[in-house]
Structures are given as C-alpha cells and as structure tokens.
Amino acid sequence: NAGVTQTPKFQVLKTGQSMTLQCAQDMNHNSMYWYRQDPGMGLRLIYYSASEGTTDKGEVPNGYNVSRLNKREFSLRLESAAPSQTSVYFCASLLRRDTEAFFGQGTRLTVV
C-alpha cells in the first residue's frame, strides 16, 4: 500500500519554464489537495478537488492549474514558473473529514 505518491521529488526550473507535478493515491479517497510550504511557514492550500471531475481554488491559486485526471490522480501545473514559486509542494488525500488526511513525501521545487 503506497499511500500518496508524488513525482518528482526534486526539480530545478528556469524562470518561464513549465512543468507538471504528479500525485497519485491508492486509498480510493474522494478528496485531493495541493499545498505549498515556504521555509519556516505553514502549509498554504493551492487547489483542491472534492471528487473526480471537480476542482476548487484554495488560498494561493494564482500561477497554477490543476487536473483531477481520475479518482487516483491529481496533477498541479506551473505554466510559466517564477522564482516566487520556489517551495516544497505537498499533495494530500482524504476520504472524509472525520478521517485522517494522508500526505505525499513532497516535491522540492527551485525556480532560478
């Protein structure tokens, strides 16, 4: 049982480049989330998906797009990366609010 898997673990981008962060969960969870965490800061919600086919903006959605490809997969895309998007990105999944959320191991992204 892998839980929540994020790829890649590390990535360096040049300003203006695009990339997609992948997230997959094998727990049949309904909801999935993308967060960013800057050094010394808490987690900030970028986008979330309540169920397959639906996505909603979180606290800091600007500069990002998401796709809930199916129940298992939720991807985060940076169309034109900026140095301000240098951060650690976490994906999470959740069955219901009365159960626990599970997190991936994170993707450390540096934009130069």
Partner 1 sequence: LAKTTQPISMDSYEGQEVNITCSHNNIATNDYITWYQQFPSQGPRFIIQGYKTKVTNEVASLFIPADRKSSTLSLPRVSLSDTAVYYCLVGDIWQAGTALIFGKGTTLSVSS
Rule CB under 8 A: which of 75-94 touch partner 1?
Answer: 88, 90, 92, 94
Among 23, 24, 25, 31, binds partner 1 (CB under 8 A): 31
Distance CA 85, CA 65 (A): 13
Cβ proximity to partner 1: between 14 and 62 the closer is: 62
Closest CA to 96 of 38, 31, 45: 31
Q: 26: how many CB neighbours lie within 10 A of its CB?
A: 12
Among 2, 10, 42, 62, binds partner 1 (CB under 8 A): 42
Identify any residues that bridge with 23 across adjacent strands, giving them in sequence order: 6
The interface region with partner 1, picked from 13-21, 70-78, 79-87, 99-107 by CB under 8 A, is: 99-107
Cβ proximity to partner 1: between 13 and 74 the closer is: 74
